Structure 1
Amino acid sequence: MASNALNQQGSMLGFGGLLFCAASALADDTQTDRYLETIQILGQQDSLRTEAGSTTVIDELQLQKFSFDDIERILATVPGINIRSEDGYGLRPNIGFRGVTPERSKKITLMEDGVLIAPAPYSASAAYYFPMMAKMTAVEVFKGPAAIKYGPYTVAGALNLVSRSVPDSLAAMADIAGGSDGYLKGHGYVGDRFDNGIGVLLEGVHVESDGYKQLDGGGDTGFSKNEVMAKLRYDWQGDKVNQLLELKLVYADEDSDETYLGLTDSDFAAQPNRRYVASSLDNMNWEHSQFQLTHFIEGEGFDVSTKAYRNDLSRAWFKLNGFVDGPDLSSLLQNPNQGVNDAFYQVLIGAADSSAINGADNLLIGTNDRDYFSQGLQSDWRWQLPLWGFEHNLHGGVRFHQDQIERNHTEDAFAMQSGVLLRTTDPRATTTLNREKTSAWSLYLQDTLSWDKLDITVGVRGEFLDMEYQNRQPGKEGDYLDKTTNVWLPGISTFYRVSDNLGVFAGVHEGFVPTSPAQDPRIESESSINYELGSRFNNGTSKVEAVLFFNDFDNLKESCSFSQGASCLDNLDAEFNGGEVDVYGLELAAEHLARWGDFELPLSLSYSYLDSEFQTSFDSDFSLWGQVSAGDQLPYLPEHQLTLGVGITAAKWSVDLQGRYLSAMKEAAGTGVTLSGVETDALWTLDLAAAYDFGGYGKLYGKVDNLLDEQQIVSRRPYGARPNRPQQFILGYRLSY
């Protein structure tokens, strides 16, 4: 169980070891690609998968079917995931698993090619950067005991994004698409493997859109994103071992005119895609770079993968924070006609000028500059051997990781004059100037014992963290904290093969989420005991996985961020204890491939039932909780989610339809806060995709996202009602060699 050694402050993190269980075992002489890049943790074979835990793989063919750029739409086919939509494009997604807060995906372990990819996974886990999905060839989701090796966040699970591997021979692709709202996409790659063992891959993606929202008075509401990746690989074969060395380099950037400002409910009903003029200057700009060096060695019954990595992110978000001295934006937009709110609302929409008397209704626009780095060295190994009458599949790993965030937040005052924002003469204020840093050792050891039809997996992960916080505001340099946390997290799971096509599994593991370096020691780490019981069927034509889960939180922890709005402006990054909470549910995923003459008819279903209960009553300043009574539910946890897919595929063409239902969600758990008693709207959306293959002359594809153009309120955070993306048409052409 968790044992904490605290130096001055609270508790902290956990990881796993990551990774790559490393491909399969070398079978034939066909070069090395056994390793399948060891970045893909799960195989995609048609036979029954035997991992003891809830897992999902979305492969490249599935990803290409709808060519979604938005990870939120991609994950709609995975049960047990709760998402709070925000910008409609998934630029900064809010993803949770099994009821954990979806805010900025900060409570799931995010990985790219098995390496932590959040900007500062330990010190500031909120994912204000997310990789572009166009370059990914697989998405892997681990929940419950399946996530025992991946951390630091183990209550919910892990998401691994798999980038393209260096091809075995010359391969190239060019993809260009355009659509409504000024949508443009350009994507291409070229790669080859040479006789001397050297392989190379170059890939680039550009996506842009004018945006679907209409800004009062005119202006930009879209985005532009770029990402380029290069991989250089050298592999060689020996008599007893095969090895490879690979260098991966990535550069990405984004310029988006996105805002946290939404609408009043009445304005949403009249024009859901409207944007108030007060948000006309809002803009996010970031640059990201990645370096990764991998060495992989494989021999008879074992393999070892070692990676050195470094990720850097620099971002500046210039955005509306509120008024100089007025109601907070959340309560204003929820009650625009109450008391003095109407006067401030008129300024917000540009219908009235800011007062020249005391400047209380001037608008504060902040530039949230943040610089992150994340770096480390990790090694993961696998060893298969018979011992004491059992077949053992041993996995282990160790990682040394460092990350850091430096915040430099400033605010400037602007006056609304004739529907235009004008900078005032008030001096710029520095609101936040600090640094948080973590150094962490992580290790895991897991053994799967196989005996006849039974597999038993026993594992443990350890996290050993040193964390520092430094306030860098002039005169507050004495505001310094450091703390040390040591945590051991055990887990056990079983898988029993009832037949070649059917298996059952069960497991229990300890979940853990650390506090950040700046938190008071009275704020406890999040901890839970998580249980899972499931069954998996696969006969090559039909696949079914059903899972019951129960997460017993000893202490639920949440933290304030700008993305939550309301009181979090005054309590940025503060963390709150929620006490005991139960989260439970059912996850069901099914696929069937029917045949009708020369046609294939793929059918799919994904269903989630999710529920939760606070076990104690308490009062909290946290804007998502408020005055909580025992039995209250967690916010942003839809009770029902359903995704249905149907298609028809011929030799040269295909048509696919995907429908998704999302039930209403509470905006706040208890009473006494701005959004108490308020819910999002239930929503049905349909997506249609079609493609025609011209053989060697490429493929023409088209799709309509949100075919029926259904728009509802999907969230009222950060500030005001926000819509899902409206109907969008896209036509593209892809040529592959």
Structure 2
Amino acid sequence: MSVNIYHHTPLFAALGLAFGTVSPSVYADDSDVKVERISIIGAQQELNKTAGSVTLIDEIELEKFEYDDIARVLATVPGVNIRQEDGYGLRPNIGFRGVTPERSKKINIMEDGILIGPAPYSAPAAYYFPMTSRMTAVEVTKGPSTIKYGPNTVAGALNLVTRQVPDSSEGAIDVAYGSDNYGKAHGHYGNTVDQYGFLVEGLHVQTDGFKELDGGDDTGFKKSDFMAKFNVDLSGKGYRQLIELKASYSEEESDETYLGLTDDDFSKRPYRRYSASQLDNMDWDHSQLQLTHHFEVNNFNATTRIYRNDFSRAWFKLNGFTSSQGGSVPTLQEILTHPTDESNQAYYQVLTGQQDSTAQEILVLGNNDRDYYSQGIQVDLTWTPELFGLIHTLDAGVRYHEDEIERNHTETNFFMRSGVLENTGEDTRATSTNTEKTDALSAYVQDSMTFGDLTVSAGVRWEHIEGSYQNRAPGQEQDYQDKTTTIWLPSISAFYALSENSGIFGGVHEGFVPTSPIQDASIDIEESVNYELGWRYSDQALRTEFVGFFSDYSNLKESCSISAGCDTDLEFSGGEVDVYGLEASIQHSFALNADYDLPWSVVYTYTDSEFKSSFYSDFEQWGFVEKGDPVPYLAEHMLTASVGLTASNWQVALLVSYSDEMPETAQQQLTGDPDDATLAGVYTDDYINVDIAANYDINSQSRVYAKVDNLFDDADITSRRPYGARPTMTRTLQVGYKYKF
């Protein structure tokens, strides 16, 4: 169950109490808490009086199901659309309010208030995502206040909050074991002596994988994450001041693939993997440095962050077929969609290892080797003066940001021999060899004014983006080509308190998603006008909110990378599109008696969409679009319900989530050459997932827990992009032990 408390202490003092209850005094007075501005939501109030939907999932809720997958966490948040991919959430696909979930590229992903994507401007596809298991809170912001984050302002922002430096000696150990040799080891320790504090934290997660590779071998992953924080409290009489240095390093090696199954093979063995994917492997490492200075005096505070992120990855995977005899060969998508066609049968037999390659069926494996960096300085200010008899909350900020992606892609040819891939001995060849980089300067200001029961907020964001692209491929060298985008993004919203516990709100803001440096002027930026109207109620036991939203796109832009079935990173314009829907959430805790509580929640999202014109696009997910066709990979109905039983030293929780089927292409019937749209009219499966979890406190320091994900072991098709049907995760069992000291 997510907790829509909207506002909370900026230091998450209560979140460190992993095994206890939240003391009301923690929220009532945070004067003794160090000022570490890692939250984007603020301090808790009984009723949030700002427009926009804001959701906090705190550490207590995160520990309830011990999820490693951010998609399972976000199932409890209204207005979030998810497309599963690998089952573990290694590379999540997240969208808000109907934006494409593909690689989470249209939402702002932040860690402790800083953009954490590998190259948020130059290449926003999130092939790196922080480990959910080490977060102490997850915050989701949608609506007009999105203009404070950027660069993407259509949908919203996702902020992941790391552990704070404790006020005194504190640590914990968490170990777990589960299905498919799943293992987790997580520990942290920190302390503050006088004005100096530190925290060290380490996390390692691994599994053999739930998919079954033809011929054996693992299909899982190993991930490790290490973080250290050091701070010094320089507070004096009448002011508070903190300087903190954060350093982290993480790495992953996963035997992941883009290769799925034919629908017929999926119906027989949904967790099968073909022999042709036996060498597929992702290997990456990520490092981060962040220096933060926070100053607070009276009704003014300022936070300055200087940051640097480096990310290197190499994904070696099957790309398709080639022929030494020349001529065309079918794509993997064509083979897996029509495996019984005479022209595709031999290729299918090679993919599955049932037949050896001939000179016509040579497998091509590509190594997508990329290096990224992002760095910058960001200043955020808040001032709460009383001017002209009105109470104001003035938020402002400025950010200078640089990022870059350097691609060094190669391809190598292989034969299939008795179910084993063998190098043909031919030279490895370069494919995409280029660099994209961006310098961006942005600023925002937002003023919230209170007139009795009415609060009005008005703001604007400015983005000035200078991008450049260079082709470094031998024989095709090209100097940097520059492009510049400058845009103003206004917003206005209002909240009216109907009573002490309820109110109505609404707002409108400009939505924007920039184009990448590689695109020429023929591809327009994404622009939309976004509206919302809602009502919320909040008291100590019950919180509920209903929000209607409408996004009027003057131009919908989509980028197509290999994860969506394109050979290279390309962008396409879709013209005018309408996306609209409803978000609803209810959370309540019912006291059965003095010993037992029954918390429950229901979260529902309705989303619909339609293109406003007919056109043809080379983007396969669109194809021949007729006016009124839907946007691909958006579920019309999503519902999550949870119920628990809580006592003083134990609790049990059940979570049921439902996702409607999703169209895999806007094109609802074939037009023209069928080979141009092999998935026209095809939908993913709708699915129901049931998770159950329980924990028991042995004493004040020790806890045991157990959980089962996908209790009924349902296997459903989550996507056929880029190459064939891929399943939801199988039923998994996990048991663990935590010790706090």
Task: Provide the TM-score with structure 1 as the length reference.
Answer: 0.95
Choose from 331, 346, 349 the match for 2:334.
331
Contact 2:411–2:431 under 8 Å retained in 1: yes
Contact 1:20–1:41 under 8 Å retained in 2: no
Q: Where do 5+ consecutive residues of structure 1 fail to align?
A: 1-18
Q: For residues 587-613 of structure 1, what are the alpha-carbon distances to aligned partners after superposition, in whole Å with 9 as ceiling and x for unaligned?
A: 001100001111010001100000001
AA matched with 1:252: S
* 1-structure distance, mates of 2:30, 2:526: 47
Residue 375 (structure 2) aligns with: 375
Q: For residues 551-585 of structure 1, what are the alpha-carbon distances to aligned partners after superposition, in whole Å with 9 as ceiling and x for unaligned?
A: 000000011101012xx11xx11111000000000
Q: CA deviation at 1:146?
A: 2.5
Contact 2:251–2:284 under 8 Å retained in 1: yes
Q: For residues 322-367 of structure 1, what are the alpha-carbon distances to aligned partners after superposition, in whole Å with 9 as ceiling and x for unaligned?
A: 0014211112111111131111000000000001xxx231100000
Structure 1 residues 97 and 22, CA, compared in 2 at 3 Å: closer, same or farther? same
User: Which secondary structure does the structure 2 equivalent of 1:238 belong to?
Assistant: coil
* 2-structure distance, mates of 1:59, 1:70: 15
Choose from 198, 201, 205 the match for 1:200.
198
Structure 1 residues 450 and 433, CA, compared in 2 at 3 Å: closer, same or farther? same
Contact 1:380–1:397 under 8 Å retained in 2: yes
Residue 363 (structure 2) aligns with: 363
Contact 1:112–1:162 under 8 Å retained in 2: yes
Residue 12 (structure 1) aligns with: none
* 2-structure distance, mates of 1:619, 1:480: 31
Q: CA deviation at 1:227?
A: 0.3
RMSD: 1.7
Q: Which range moves more in the overlay, 108-117 or 497-506?
A: 497-506
Contact 2:34–2:242 under 8 Å retained in 1: no
Contact 1:20–1:380 under 8 Å retained in 2: no
Residue 610 (structure 2) aligns with: 613
Q: For residues 654-679 of structure 1, what are the alpha-carbon distances to aligned partners after superposition, in whole Å with 9 as ceiling and x for unaligned?
A: 10000011111101001441211000
What is the 5 A alignment of 1:240-319? 240-319=238-317
Contact 2:9–2:42 under 8 Å retained in 1: no
Contact 1:118–1:130 under 8 Å retained in 2: yes
Q: CA deviation at 1:237?
A: 2.0
Q: Which range moves more in the overlay, 123-132 or 696-705?
A: 696-705
Choose from 619, 634, 638 the match for 1:622.
619
Residue 152 (structure 2) aligns with: 153
* 1-structure distance, mates of 2:49, 2:251: 39
Looking at both structures, which has the greater relative contact order when contacts are Cα pairs under 8 Å and sequence separation is at least 6?
A: 1
Choose from 684, 690, 696 the match for 1:686.
690
* 2-structure distance, mates of 1:50, 1:703: 37
Task: Provide the TM-score with structure 2 as the length reference.
Answer: 0.94
Q: For residues 653-710 of structure 1, what are the alpha-carbon distances to aligned partners after superposition, in whole Å with 9 as ceiling and x for unaligned?
A: 1100000111111010014412110001110110000011012340000000001111
* 2-structure distance, mates of 1:184, 1:507: 46
AA matched with 1:584: Y
AA matched with 1:216: D
* 2-structure distance, mates of 1:363, 1:90: 28
Residue 446 (structure 1) aligns with: 446
Q: CA deviation at 1:29?
A: 8.9
Contact 1:209–1:223 under 8 Å retained in 2: yes
Residue 351 (structure 2) aligns with: 348
Q: Number of residue pairs matched?
A: 710
AA matched with 1:721: A
Contact 2:255–2:281 under 8 Å retained in 1: yes
1:578 aligns with 2:574: yes
* 1-structure distance, mates of 2:678, 2:227: 44
Q: For residues 234-255 of structure 1, what are the alpha-carbon distances to aligned partners after superposition, in whole Å with 9 as ceiling and x for unaligned?
A: 1122122110000000000000
* 1-structure distance, mates of 2:205, 2:534: 40
AA matched with 2:616: D
Q: CA deviation at 1:389?
A: 2.0
Structure 1 residues 29 and 430, CA, compared in 2 at 3 Å: closer, same or farther? same
* 1-structure distance, mates of 2:218, 2:390: 64
Structure 1 residues 400 and 416, CA, compared in 2 at 3 Å: closer, same or farther? same
Structure 1 residues 148 and 301, CA, compared in 2 at 3 Å: closer, same or farther? same
User: Which secondary structure does the structure 1 equivalent of 2:152 belong to?
Assistant: coil
Q: For residues 135-180 of structure 1, what are the alpha-carbon distances to aligned partners after superposition, in whole Å with 9 as ceiling and x for unaligned?
A: 1011111112131201111111110000011111111100000001
Q: Where do 5+ consecutive residues of structure 2 fail to align?
A: 1-6, 14-25, 324-328, 671-676
* 2-structure distance, mates of 1:278, 1:253: 26
Choose from 711, 725, 732 the match for 1:728.
732
AA matched with 1:619: Y
User: Which secondary structure does the structure 1 equivalent of 2:700 belong to?
Assistant: helix
Q: CA deviation at 1:22?
A: 6.0
Percentage identity across paired residues of the two chains: 56
* 2-structure distance, mates of 1:429, 1:688: 49
* 1-structure distance, mates of 2:320, 2:213: 18
AA matched with 1:205: L
Choose from 627, 637, 641 the match for 1:640.
637
Contact 1:21–1:38 under 8 Å retained in 2: no
What is the 5 A alignment of 1:582-601? 582-597=578-593, 598-601=595-598
User: Which secondary structure does the structure 1 equivalent of 2:506 belong to?
Assistant: strand
Q: CA deviation at 1:718?
A: 1.7
* 2-structure distance, mates of 1:44, 1:545: 19
* 1-structure distance, mates of 2:133, 2:28: 32
* 2-structure distance, mates of 1:95, 1:28: 34
Q: CA deviation at 1:20?
A: 12
Q: Which range moves more in the overlay, 46-55 or 281-290?
A: 46-55
Residue 709 (structure 2) aligns with: 705
Contact 2:27–2:44 under 8 Å retained in 1: no
Residue 527 (structure 2) aligns with: 527
What is the 5 A alignment of 1:68-87? 68-87=67-86
Q: CA deviation at 1:55?
A: 1.0
